[in-house]
Amino acid sequence: MKRSLLRVLALIACCAVHASAQKPRARDLGVPFEGTPGRYNAITDVDGVEVGHATIVRGSGELVIGEGPVRTGVTAVWPRGRDESAPVYAAWFTLNGNGEMTGTTWVHDSGLMEGPVMITNTLSVGIVHHAVIRWGVARDMERRRG
């Protein structure tokens, strides 16, 4: 019994070590890309691109609907920084027949995108969409007053 338990624990430990090992990047596998990576090999290496992120980790214990615990976040990518005077070319693609993306009709019709790309979990799409619209309207009103 003890040997079986030790074998199971050893197997779990091996799996955990294997799972935590970093996956090889495309360049490491020989996939050719033009140019060289930036200083941080990240999207923020691209001049003019700004990225913001917010994470909420609150509470612990068993889930109580409407109270927590909470584990969520959102990432914002501004392709031209916060200057939205010139939209960027855009397209979208659904992988494996799945994809939830607000704003695809405008992207499909115009081929352009204005504002930040927001990345979040499925259950937060609505509130993130609402927050970005409110933020954009408030900022636009400030510009008109200013």
Q: What is the pLDDT of residues 65-74, one digit of tens each?
A: 989 999 999 9
- DSSP classification of residue 63: -
- Domain total of the chain: 1
Contacts 24+ apart (CB under 8 A), 141-145: none
pLDDT tens figures, 100-134:
677 888 899 999 988 899 999 988 989 999 999 99
Q: Which residue range(s) make up the domain with 74?
A: 2-145
Instruction: Give the whole-angstrom CA distance, residue 66 versus residue 43.
Output: 35
CATH number at residue 95: 3.60.70.12
141 vs 137: CA distance, rounded Å: 6
Contact 118, 128 (CB under 8 A): yes
25-82: pLDDT as tens digits: 888 888 888 888 889 888 888 889 999 999 999 999 999 998 999 999 999 999 988 7
Given a cut of 70, is residue 2 above it in pLDDT? no
pTM over 0.85: no
Strand partners, 51: 77
pLDDT higher than threshold 50 for residue 8: no
